[in-house]
Structure 1
């Protein structure tokens, strides 16, 4: 069955923001890879490149400069033998708390992108939106416009938001903004990326028809070697990756590191940047951790395999994760993982993969870190960790599941 699929992401990677919305890009690439006869088009408006800020004047200057230079048009991207067809109609956006982030302009841009895709490839069979607002709301508006023209254009909505909902999308008395609720009510099928997120959707009275995890491009980690050999005196290296914001729990991780015995040879590599960097570095200094912590700065996706190759285990101390892509990347690199029970990680970390601990429990995290360093936990071999992760989250596995959902909608009545 040959189909045309139009993808609407709420965030999407760019040269300046390579990690933003990577989940939407990778899932679209996976679908294109498992269905080589399909046309998979992605509509964008510039996303974070054109995002204005209420507080950061330099960010506003960058966004305005980007808008001045940006031009509408196509970019065909080779994603491992398959093609993604990306169409840009540039628009500025701003915080969701202020007039919905300029969503009417984003709807106009998405309408132009859809028209460009259909002019090039013919009618789209299905829309796939990532995140209920703005993309989910936009997709259901486009579907309603299509119905007004006498045609069926079904919508698959995949929710990634965490924590759900974002504060700006909360309605009165802790409910949901009407536009976000409408996206779920009007979509033809809805998906969550973890069981924990599905339960949260149900708690808000929203339906969730399936749980399909985020996809991870397993080819990126196929060449990562086994963990570096070490003697008893060599440091055991933990790696963590994430934006340096409170939700990622980097402060908790530093506190756990400080609880490890000084005689235990351990290092922590921290990959990421963000508004909490100076505060976290000050915390590390106050805890006497200067010799135990290495700050890697922000890492582009291409640099992640090398960072994983240099570590023995991965640790994620987040206070909330709707999924946890970095955990899957570590497992695909053959590294055991330690994480908090903060949502998505509970789906990912199973027996033999590492350990889960409670959120904000530094002593418990320190205990499992120490046990891992001393070889006191039963961990599968690197090859087994990789094989299991690829079977559950690799491009072929997740791409097939998403493609099947899209086929079911595209072949509907």
Structure 2
């Protein structure tokens, strides 16, 4: 384990009465939605608490210190224990608890080193967002967990694609939560838990015996103020172009988005932006379906700002995700005024108001999904008035997710802890 040494982040700023130490396995623009959320939380919290510290895994070091140029970040290094856990298929699930244990111990040392006299310390484990993962908690300082979300599993028509481990997690989720309340190892509770998954997450936590008074509802992820300050995307005339972006893994539903083009009345075009293990399979699917003239694979933008700048070319975004607990890409699109087309499932189900700020398609079957998406794409493409109404509604919804508003809520909660 290594601890980075650093000077005060902003010596000229007034010393706050609170020191927050954030913990997340990944803090990155390149490692998926959870890593991006952790990075946004760090940046936004430092706007109000400049001396906020961050602990993450050593695999993030190059990006954090060089490309992102972030100070005040400490890194948990791999040891023979973590390497052994990674090589073990049976024990690999213990990697996150192992990281949590090492990170909390590091956070306690950092608190002693950096807290000023009279300063309150809060250790906030931002990720993972799972409500079931066992966590090590500090006995020396107050603990905040979350936003917790997770416990999303494939809709019934897709469960034949579940891995064995995913199927076991789904079937054992609630029984294991009920058992947790009787295990001494889990008697130590966090002082506050931020809940972002709505009722499904609350039910899971309460089944585990969590005190309902420690649960506080919040959004899973905020929206940067800079996005809401950009001009809203305007929709005029017919626009056949749509975008699907994110890490290309099966549960993101890229293949469903591609197959939906077979059922559109209009020659809808789809740009797929991203990298991942499903890229080869999706390219082959496009060839098989003869959609080479309507689907483009644009790899990934190294700078997130360039990705955002590209959205002006599109009429809407498509994310038929089967397992996303939230959907940062949906929030970003809505903040810019780009109507989303998603499944009525998981995180997007909590974000999109069907028929008002976007479309939600029932995940009843592959046919229902692909035909439903196709109909939504046709409507948006040929009806600029509809697209404009949804754009306005989406931007208005996104204002409630603005990071400064979220941070104000969290800051008040920290002080209560």
TM-score normalised over the length of structure 2: 0.75
How many residues were matched structurally? 368
Where does residue 3 of structure 2 map in the other structure? none
Cα offset for 1:12?
2.0
Alignment CA distance shift 1:194-1:132 (3 Å): closer
Mean alpha-carbon deviation: is it higher for 197-206 or for 235-244? 197-206
Instruction: Give the aligned partner of residue 155 of structure 1.
Output: 144
CA–CA separation in structure 1 for the residues paired with 2:320 and 2:199: 17
Q: CA deviation at 1:284?
A: 1.2
* 1:212 aligns to 2:204 (yes or no): no
Over 3 Å counting, the alpha-carbon distance change for 1:42 and 1:215 in structure 2 is same
The answer to whether the Cα contact below 8 Å between 1:273 and 1:297 also exists between their aligned partners in 2 is yes
Please state how far the C-alpha of 1:108 moved relative to its aligned partner: 2.9
**Residues 376/311 of structure 1: CA separation in 2 closer, same or farther (3 Å cut):** closer
Verify the 8 A CA contact 2:234 2:388 in the aligned structure 1.
Answer: no
Map 1:319-358 to 2 at 5 A: 319-350=322-353, 351-358=355-362
Secondary structure of the corresponding residue to residue 293 of structure 2: coil
Q: Given the superposition, is the C-alpha separation of residues 74 and 354 from structure 1 closer, same or farther in structure 2, using an over 3 Å criterion?
A: closer
Cα deviation for residue 29 of structure 1 reads: 2.7
The 3 A distance-change label for structure 1 pair 172 and 308 is closer
**Which string of whole-angstrom CA distances, capped at 9 and with x for unpartnered residues, describes residues 77-103 of structure 1?**
88xxxx973222422545484251274
Q: Does 1:365 align with 2:366?
A: no
Deviation at 1:27, TM superposition (A): 2.2
Quick check: 1:253–1:362 contact (8 Å CA) kept in 2? yes
Shift of the alpha carbon at 1:256?
A: 0.8
Work out the CA distance in 1 between the residues paired with 2:331 and 2:187. 28
Aligned partners of 1:31, 1:265: CA distance in 2, in Å?
45
Per the alignment, residue 11 of structure 2 pairs with none
The alpha-carbon deviation at position 282 of structure 1 amounts to: 0.9
Equivalent pair of 2:56/2:73 in contact (CA under 8 Å): yes
Match of 1:12 among 16, 27, 45: 27
Deviation for aligned residue 1:332: 1.0
CA distance in 2, matches of 1:321, 1:340: 10
Cα offset for 1:403?
1.8
Q: Which runs of 5+ in 2 are unaligned?
A: 1-15, 155-164
* 3-state SS of 1:101 partner: helix
SS state of the match for residue 292, structure 2? coil
2:78 aligned residue (85, 91, 101): 91
2:125 aligns with one of 115, 122, 129: 129
- Which residue is 1:43 aligned to? 55
Deviation at 1:299, TM superposition (A): 3.2
TM-score (norm 1): 0.75
Q: Over aligned residue pairs, what C-alpha RMSD do you find?
A: 3.8
Equivalent position of 1:61 in the other structure: none
The corresponding residue for 1:289 is 291
Instruction: Report the alpha carbon displacement of residue 357 of structure 1 after superposing the two structures with TM.
Output: 0.7
Match of 1:251 among 247, 255, 262: 255
Which structure 1 residue ranges, 5 or more long, are not aligned? 51-65, 147-151
